[in-house]
Structure 1
Amino acid sequence: MAGAVRKILVTGAGGLIGWHAAARLHAYNCGARFKGEDAPYDLVALDRDGFNDDAKLAAALDGADAVLHFAGVNRGTDEEVAAGNPAIAQRLADAVTASGGKPVIVYANSTHADGDSLYGKSKAEAAGILGEAAPLANLVLPHIFGETARPDYNNVTATLIDRLWKGEAPQINDGAVVHLLHAGEAAQIAIGASQDASSRTIRSDARTISVADLREKLQSFHASYTANIFPDFSDPFDLALFNTYRTGGFPEQYPLAMDVRSDARGDLFETAKSRGSGQSFVSTTLPGQRRGDHFHFSLVERFLVVSGKAVIRVRKLLSDDIVEFEVSGDHPVAIDMPPLHTHHIENVGDEPVVTYFWAHRLFDPANPDTYADPVLKEPQP
């Protein structure tokens, strides 16, 4: 990451892949600052309103080295779908031309662009428009899943997860097959593609799975997790899918109540069980002190206060939305930290807080998957 600061514009930053891409670029900046280095990226993230604002779009493109273009239309009337993606591409192409620059454009295209559907044709046409304006990395993506995906919005994985958490039986097409790629992996491919100014088409690998098997796997996750058992994470796809599943229940399904057994000797409760491997540890936090203020890409991590009073705060990256949980050792509950959400625990009592932590893998100093980022945005002096 050493070298000059690169300005990168992310369009569609309010969408699934756009948010994941912006969050990863933000993570690299956080990692550099933690080491006392300059942030490698000047990140500009535009949602739909920002993209449609002429002044904001022009300012975002001024001096931009790359554009990760995730803005698009994938549902609506036939006319809206057919016209929407070319119109969005033309707006970006015109703005790039007006800027006088030649940023690399990484375009989130679709495998549907190889077919004859209205959506596919609109995506293919949009790619052609963008290729006339600047060097184009045409990123052909399969079905995308991932944390914060919207159910009932052309995302079968998110819809299945939503039905499971609601206790409903998801209806599926038993013969359907999907080719799945995690949004974080797609975002990483896009970030890597932005380093190369050559025009080219990039096709990503995907996990092919029937919708019936996908439902069965998610149902297995749900049955285990609601019984306080974590599944085996040895397959990276299962880890990404499980993180997507558990984030789909956050924060409505939390905290998770512990099954406390009492007898003359006292109380006993199981904190977490894993079908794979993991690491547990305990910390003490003095009154008024905090631990954490960091986030992870994929680490599965559980917080459980066993003594004292504390507040656990969780903030979704690149937002001001903070969820707070008041916790106490008198009533043990678990909070599992969702990926790409920065978090901390603060002692708000008069006695030390004792907290049990569990993580799904052993700590690796060479790959800590930990990025410092304060939950609370303190006033600047």
Structure 2
Amino acid sequence: MTSSLVLTGAGGFLGWHVRVLARSLGMPEPILIDRTVLSQPETLASALNGADRVVHIAGINRGNPEEVATGNIELSRQLCAGLKACSTPPKTVVFANSIQANNGTPYGDGKAAAAVLLSETTRWLGSDFVDVLLPNLFGEHGRPHYNSVVATFCRVLADGGKPQVNGDRELDLMHATDAASILLGTVSDSPAVRRTVRDLADQLTYFASTYRTAEIPELADRFDVRLFNTYRSHLAPAPFGLTRHADARGSLVETVKVHGGGGQTFCSSTIPGVTRGQHFHLAKVERFVVVRGEAEICLRRVLHDDILRFRVAGDEPAVVDMPTMWAHSITNTGTGDLTTLFWSNDLFNPTHPDTFPEPVQ
């Protein structure tokens, strides 16, 4: 046993958010349990033995009714078999359940039955059991037509389309990082936000039309910021060229135009060969604009390997916005000083900087 945290379903949408949050909190690298290990009680028991916390996320959300109903029960049954085979049962087992549990649908009834199995097994073993009833989740890198209507609308807008609302209704929504905080035990609860499907379509359409011009839409509260970052995650990161206005006096470039807010702007100078950054943010919206010199901006999604590289220069101003949960850096590749303008939607708070060290490469 090399880790106090064990995750099932770590390769999915919520699992990725749990791993990113755990990384930002400096937790030990978790043990990841895939479907193959789940089906092997002795191998599973070895991974679970003595763990501080087991977070069971693995589940089936889509498929024919029988597959959805029985699949979630079977996954919990497999986990219970591994738990019973442990010589030292885990201290706490957490189940990523749903507010749809016991709602009469195959999915809801399957999740409810899975919770009963885990509750009975952990009580018999003497482990604590935490049954987390999660609402509709949204967040960066959700799968369209699978994880949520938010992901679907974001993908449609990113592709230049228009979201279609077929039957408006209210949804209780929670960002996946907030759900991850509950599953990891860093908070006991996090309030959901209620929006109609039409509200989501209209707000995301506004975000898309405003951001298409490199302007920042109005972000009135925490939910708006998280929803905007979710939309941005469906756009391929890339420089956005700016228009230079010149006359006899010189030139002017509009670098940041924010609707309904301000944020914080600062400027830095960097000597040749030096790299800044090497970190990621969970929620902060951040923009880089090189105004003098030459630089390479590198981006890498946390827990992924592929690196994006962009060459930028003050002679041809362009904005590069940092996606949330992507490590990023900027390196002076020129022969003189590099001058870079930075903007973020939040004022810097040294006690809660939302900045977590992570080398890009």
Query: TM-score scaled by structure 1?
Result: 0.87
SS for the counterpart of 2:310 is strand
SS for the counterpart of 1:355 is strand
In structure 2, the partner of 1:321 is 306
Q: Distance in 2 between matches of 1:232 and 1:169?
A: 20
**Which residue among 114, 121, 126 is the counterpart of 2:102?**
114
Equivalent residues, number: 353
Query: Which amino acid is the alignment partner of residue 371 of structure 1?
Result: F
- Do the aligned partners of residues 347 and 60 (structure 1) sit closer, same or farther apart at CA in structure 2, a change above 3 Å counting? farther
**Which residue among 256, 269, 289 is the counterpart of 1:272?**
256
Q: What does 1:179-218 correspond to in 2, within 5 Å?
A: 179-192=172-185, 205-218=191-204
Instruction: Give the conservation status (yes or no) of the 8 Å contact 1:140–1:204.
Output: no
Q: Deviations over 1:94-143 (max 9, x none)?
A: 11211223321111111111300001111111111111222321100110
Q: What does 1:27-38 correspond to in 2, within 5 Å?
A: 27-29=24-26
Instruction: Give the conservation status (yes or no) of the 8 Å contact 1:140–1:203.
Output: no
Instruction: Give the conservation status (yes or no) of the 8 Å contact 1:65–1:102.
Output: no
Query: Which amino acid is the alignment partner of residue 240 of structure 1?
Result: R
- Do the aligned partners of residues 55 and 323 (structure 1) sit closer, same or farther apart at CA in structure 2, a change above 3 Å counting? farther
Whether 2:22 is the aligned partner of 1:25: answer yes
Q: Distance in 1 between matches of 2:197 and 2:36?
A: 34
Query: Which amino acid is the alignment partner of residue 260 of structure 1?
Result: R
RMSD over equivalenced CA pairs, Å: 2.1
In structure 2, the partner of 1:13 is 10
Q: Distance in 2 between matches of 1:311 and 1:50?
A: 42
In structure 1, the partner of 2:232 is 246
SS for the counterpart of 1:283 is strand
Query: Which amino acid is the alignment partner of residue 267 of structure 1?
Result: S
In structure 2, the partner of 1:102 is 89
Q: What does 1:163-312 correspond to in 2, within 5 Å?
A: 163-192=156-185, 205-251=191-237, 254-274=238-258, 275-312=260-297
Q: Distance in 2 between matches of 1:54 and 1:349?
A: 57
Shift of 1:44: 2.1
Shift of 1:205: 2.9
Whether 2:118 is the aligned partner of 1:130: answer yes
Query: Which amino acid is the alignment partner of residue 261 of structure 1?
Result: H
Q: Distance in 2 between matches of 1:257 and 1:47?
A: 43
Query: Which amino acid is the alignment partner of residue 181 of structure 1?
Result: M
Instruction: Give the conservation status (yes or no) of the 8 Å contact 1:141–1:204.
Output: no
Instruction: Give the conservation status (yes or no) of the 8 Å contact 2:165–2:197.
Output: yes
Instruction: Give the conservation status (yes or no) of the 8 Å contact 1:314–1:342.
Output: yes
Shift of 1:7: 0.4
Q: Distance in 1 between matches of 2:351 and 2:198?
A: 38
Shift of 1:242: 1.1
Instruction: Give the conservation status (yes or no) of the 8 Å contact 1:314–1:341.
Output: yes
Shift of 1:187: 0.6
Query: Which amino acid is the alignment partner of residue 157 of structure 1?
Result: V
Whether 2:332 is the aligned partner of 1:347: answer yes
Q: Distance in 1 between matches of 2:81 and 2:42?
A: 13
Q: Distance in 1 between matches of 2:40 and 2:330?
A: 39
- Do the aligned partners of residues 204 and 363 (structure 1) sit closer, same or farther apart at CA in structure 2, a change above 3 Å counting? closer
Q: Distance in 2 between matches of 1:285 and 1:214?
A: 41
In structure 1, the partner of 2:47 is 60
Identity %: 42
In structure 1, the partner of 2:125 is none
